[in-house]
Structure 1
Amino acid sequence: MNKSLILWFRIAVFNLMLVAFIGVMLRYKIAYALPFVHQKHLLHAHSHFAFTGWVTQILMVLLVSRLYDEQQNAFKKYAPLLYGNLIAAYGMLFTFPFQGYGLYSISFSTLSIFTAYAFAVMYWRNMNRARQKSPGDPWFKAALFFNVISSAGAFALAIMMATKTAHPDRYLASSYYFLHFQYNGWFFFACMGLLAHKLYTWGIRLNNHKTIFWLFTLACIPAYFLSALWLPIPLWAYILVIVAVCFQLAGFALLFGAVRERFGQLRQLISPLGKWLLGLSAVALMIKLLLQSGSTIPALSKLAFGFRSIVIGYLHLILLGVITLFILGYIAINQYMRMNKTAVTGIVVFIIGIFLNELILLVQGAGAISYISMPYTNEMLLGAAVLLFAGLLILNISQRKSSSEV
C-alpha cells in the first residue's frame, strides 16, 4: 500500500473530525450559549473547511491515486498542490472565526482557488498523457471544469463581503452558484469518475455509460437555476430546469439499471461495509434527486428556501449522505484504511448521527412550515452533532491502534 496515500487519507479524515467538532460548537451555541463565539464567522469556517479540508483534499488524493499505477512518483509530483490546499484549508479554519470575510480569510480562500486551478491544469495534462485511458476520465475532466467555474461564486461573495455591498438576492445567488457547482459538479462528478474507474479495474463496464455521463453533464449547468427559482427567472430558464431534472432522473435510472445488471459480480467484489456505505449513498442520491424534482414547483421552491432548517438538511443530505458516505465506501472497498471493529463502530455511529440529523431537521422544517414550534429540536440537533463527532473520533482512533480485523 502506498504510504503517501495512507498518510493523506488520515489527514483528510482527521479534518472531517474537525468539521464535526465545529458543528458541535455551532449547535451548542444555538441550544445554550457560547458568548465568545461569533456564530456566523464560525459557520463560514465550518463550511469552508468542510469543502477544502475534507472533500477537496480527499478527492485530490483519490484522483492522484488513479494515476499511481502508471506514475510511481505521482504523490511526490502533486505534493506542493496537496500541501497548498491543506495550508489554505487550515488558514481559513483559523481566520474565519475571528474576522469573518477579511483580508486574511479571503487570502487563504483565494489560495485554495488558485491551488484548484493548478491542480485542474496539471491533472488534465496527466490524464491526456496517460498510456491507459479509463472510463472515469471524462467524469474527472467534467469535475475539474465545474470546480474551476464554481470559483466565480466564491469571488463574488468575497468581493461583496469585503466591500460591504452584499445585496440579499445577489448574495444568495452567488452562494448557491458556488454550492451548486461544488456539490453537483466537482464533488459528484469526481465520485462518479472514481466509481467508473474502479469498475474498470475490475473488468466491469456499465451499459449506457456514455449516455449516463452526458445526461448528468448536460444537466449540471442549467440545474443551477433549481437554486434560483425564488428569483424572477425567465420562462426559458424554467424550461431548462425541467429538462435538467428529467436528464438527471433518466441518468440515475440508467445508472441504477446498469448496476443492477452487474449486481451479482459486484456482490462478490465489494466488502459488506462497502456495500452498506455505497448503498446508503445511492439512497441519499435518489432522495436528493426526488427533492430536486419537487422543487421545480415554484411555490414549493419558495417555501423550502424560506426555511433555514430545510436548506441545511438538504445541504447536509448531499455533503454527508451522498458524498461523504460514498468516499468512505470507496476507501473501504480499496482498503485504504484499517478495517477493524473500532473503525466499523465509528462508521456506524457516524451513520446514525447522519440519520438523526436529517430526521430532526425534517421534523423541524415541517413544524416551521405549519407554524408549529417543535420542542427540544435544538438540543436534539446538538445530540446528533455529538454523535457525528463521536463516530469520527472513534474512526480516527481506529487508524492508530491495533484491533482485530472484521
Structure 2
Amino acid sequence: MVKSLIGWFRISVFNLMLVAFIGVLLRYKIAYALPIVHQKHLLHAHSHFAFTGWVTQILMVLLVARLYTGQQNPFKKYAPVLYTNLIAAYGMLFTFPFQGYGLYSISFSTLSIFTAYAFTIIYWSDINRAKQKSPGDPWFKASLFFSIISSAGAFALAIMMATKTAHPDKYLAASYFFLHFQYNGWFFFACVGLLVHQLHTWGMQVSNHRAIFWLFALSCIPAYFLSALWLPIPLWAYILVIVAVCFQLAGFTLLCRAVKQHFKQLKPLISSLGKWLVALSGVALTIKFLLQSGSIIPELSKLAFGFRSIVIGYLHLILLGVITLFILGYIVINRYMRINKAAVTGIIIFIAGIFLNEFILFVQGVGAISYISMPYTNEMLLGAAILLFAGLLILNISQRKGKVAEQH
C-alpha cells in the first residue's frame, strides 16, 4: 500500500508520462503512418487518462494531504478511493484504444465518475469535521461540487455514443460541458484552494478573499455558455456570459493583487524552480483569461471554435500551462518530490515542450484562419510531443533513486 504523498506523486507523474507517450503516438500518426492505431479511439484514451490518471489522481492526493498533515499514514482512509480511481483510469487507458465508446470503456468511465462521487462525500464530511480550518476549504468544496456537475456531460456523451444518436451540436455541447466544469471548476478551484491554503500555512492572509471566491464561484456556471456561443443561444444567456467574464476578470485581478502583497515574504520561502513553475502557470492563466474575454465576441468565438488547432491549443494551455505547472510548482515548494539536477532538467525540457507545442498550434491556427498552409507543422508538433515525453521520462527516472524526507 502506498503510504506517503511522495509515493502517490510518483504514481501520478508516471501516469502523466504515459499521457505524453500517447500524445507522441497521436502526433506520429498525423505526421506519418501508423495503421495499427485508431486515431479517434486513442484520442479518447489520451484525454480520459489525462483527466483521471493524472490531474484527478494528484488533486485528490493533495486535498487529502491538506486534511491529515503530520499523520504517519494520512492516506489509509482514502486508499480504497485512490486505488479505485487508478483502476478506472487504467481501465479506460486499455479499453478506449480498442473499442472507443463501448461496454468496457463506458463501464470504467462510469466507475471513475462514481469514484469522484465517493471521494466528494467522504472528503466533504471530513473537511467539515476538521479541527484546523483553512481559507482554502471553500475552494475545495466548490471544486468537488463542480466535479459532480461535470459528470452530467460525461453521462450525456456516453449515452449518445453507446446508442449512436450523437448529433454534432449535442455532442459538442456535452463535450464542452464536461470540459468546462472539469477545467474551470474542479481543476481551477482545487488549485486556487491549494494556493490559498499554502499562504495560510505560512501565516499570510489573502485580502478580499471572500469577494474573490464568490466572484469565481458565481461566474462558473454561466461561463459555460462561453463554450456555446457558436450555438443560437438566447439574449439573456449572452448577457450572463458577459457578466461572468467581468466577474472572473475582477476576481483574477483581486487575486493577483492579494498574492503580490506577500512577494517579499514569499521570496525566501520558495526555491527558484518553484517560483518559475508558479510564475509560468500565472502567465498561462493570464493568457487564458485574456483569450476567454475576447471570445465573448460571437464572431471571434465561432472563428476560434471552427479551427481544431486553436481549440487544442487552448485546452493544452489550461491543462499543461496552468494546471500541471501549478501542481508541479506546489509539489516542488512543499518538497513532495526529489529535487536534483535530473528532476530540474526534466522539468525544463517539459516546459520547453509546452512552449513549443503552444507556439506551433498558435501559428497553425493563425495560418488556418488566413487560409495559409504552414509547412512541417505536423512534424514540429511531433517534436514538441517528444520533448514533453522526454522531459517527463527524465523526471520519472529522477524520482526512482533514494528517499525523500517528507516535510509535513
For 1:132, the equivalent position in structure 2 comes to 132
What runs of 5+ residues in structure 1 fail to find an aligned partner? Answer: none
- CA deviations 1:163-210 (Å, max 9, x no partner) are 000000000000000000000000000001111111111001111111
Between 1:68-77 and 1:363-372, the stretch displaced more is: 68-77
Between 1:289-298 and 1:3-12, the stretch displaced more is: 3-12
| Structure 1 CA distance for aligned equivalents of residues 78 and 218 of structure 2 | 30
Aligned amino acid, residue 165 of structure 1: T
1:67-106 matches, cutoff 5 A: 67-69=67-69, 72-106=72-106
- CA deviations 1:134-183 (Å, max 9, x no partner) are 00000000000000010000000000000000000000000000000000
Quote how far apart the aligned CAs of 1:238 are: 0.3
| Structure 1 CA distance for aligned equivalents of residues 215 and 194 of structure 2 | 18
Q: Percent identity?
A: 84
For 2:301, the equivalent position in structure 1 comes to 301
For 2:24, the equivalent position in structure 1 comes to 24
For 2:373, the equivalent position in structure 1 comes to 373
CA contact (8 A) 2:332 2:339 kept: yes
1:250-269 matches, cutoff 5 A: 250-269=250-269
Answering whether residue 49 of structure 2 is matched by residue 49 of structure 1, we say: yes
Aligned amino acid, residue 147 of structure 2: N
- What SS class does the counterpart of residue 304 from structure 1 fall into? helix
| Structure 2 CA distance for aligned equivalents of residues 259 and 266 of structure 1 | 9
| Structure 2 CA distance for aligned equivalents of residues 82 and 335 of structure 1 | 21
| Structure 1 CA distance for aligned equivalents of residues 401 and 76 of structure 2 | 27
| Structure 2 CA distance for aligned equivalents of residues 255 and 119 of structure 1 | 28
- CA deviations 1:191-248 (Å, max 9, x no partner) are 0111111111100111111111111111100000000000000000000000010011
- What SS class does the counterpart of residue 68 from structure 2 fall into? coil
Answering whether residue 193 of structure 2 is matched by residue 193 of structure 1, we say: yes
For 1:314, the equivalent position in structure 2 comes to 314
- CA deviations 1:81-113 (Å, max 9, x no partner) are 000000000000000000000000000000000
CA contact (8 A) 1:70 1:130 kept: no
CA contact (8 A) 1:216 1:248 kept: yes
- What SS class does the counterpart of residue 178 from structure 2 fall into? helix
For 1:62, the equivalent position in structure 2 comes to 62
Quote how far apart the aligned CAs of 1:69 are: 2.2
- CA deviations 1:268-308 (Å, max 9, x no partner) are 11111000000000000000000000000000000000000
Aligned amino acid, residue 232 of structure 1: P
Aligned amino acid, residue 228 of structure 2: A
Quote how far apart the aligned CAs of 1:66 are: 0.4
| Structure 2 CA distance for aligned equivalents of residues 236 and 287 of structure 1 | 27
- What SS class does the counterpart of residue 204 from structure 1 fall into? coil
Seen in structure 2, the aligned counterparts of structure 1 residues 142 and 211 have a Cα distance that, compared at 3 Å, is same
- CA deviations 1:50-101 (Å, max 9, x no partner) are 0000000000000000011276543000000000000000000000000000
- What SS class does the counterpart of residue 76 from structure 2 fall into? helix
CA contact (8 A) 2:307 2:365 kept: yes
| Structure 2 CA distance for aligned equivalents of residues 271 and 362 of structure 1 | 31
CA contact (8 A) 1:5 1:61 kept: yes
- CA deviations 1:305-338 (Å, max 9, x no partner) are 0000000000000000000000000000000001
Quote how far apart the aligned CAs of 1:3 are: 4.7
Answering whether residue 119 of structure 2 is matched by residue 119 of structure 1, we say: yes
Aligned amino acid, residue 225 of structure 1: F
- What SS class does the counterpart of residue 77 from structure 1 fall into? coil
| Structure 1 CA distance for aligned equivalents of residues 397 and 219 of structure 2 | 41
Aligned amino acid, residue 300 of structure 1: L
Quote how far apart the aligned CAs of 1:401 are: 2.8
| Structure 2 CA distance for aligned equivalents of residues 51 and 210 of structure 1 | 29
Aligned amino acid, residue 105 of structure 2: S
CA contact (8 A) 2:95 2:105 kept: yes
Answering whether residue 383 of structure 2 is matched by residue 396 of structure 1, we say: no
TM-score by length of 2: 0.97
Aligned amino acid, residue 16 of structure 1: L
Aligned amino acid, residue 245 of structure 1: V
- What SS class does the counterpart of residue 75 from structure 1 fall into? coil
Aligned amino acid, residue 56 of structure 1: T
Aligned amino acid, residue 102 of structure 2: G
Aligned amino acid, residue 19 of structure 2: V
Aligned amino acid, residue 274 of structure 1: G
- CA deviations 1:345-390 (Å, max 9, x no partner) are 0000000000000000000000000000000000000000000000
What runs of 5+ residues in structure 2 fail to find an aligned partner? Answer: 404-408
TM-score by length of 1: 0.98
| Structure 1 CA distance for aligned equivalents of residues 145 and 65 of structure 2 | 19
Aligned amino acid, residue 87 of structure 2: I
Aligned length, in residue pairs: 402
Quote how far apart the aligned CAs of 1:259 are: 1.0
| Structure 1 CA distance for aligned equivalents of residues 211 and 71 of structure 2 | 30
| Structure 2 CA distance for aligned equivalents of residues 3 and 79 of structure 1 | 9
Shift >6 Å, 4+ stretches: none
| Structure 2 CA distance for aligned equivalents of residues 137 and 72 of structure 1 | 22
RMSD: 1.1
| Structure 1 CA distance for aligned equivalents of residues 121 and 303 of structure 2 | 41
Aligned amino acid, residue 189 of structure 2: F
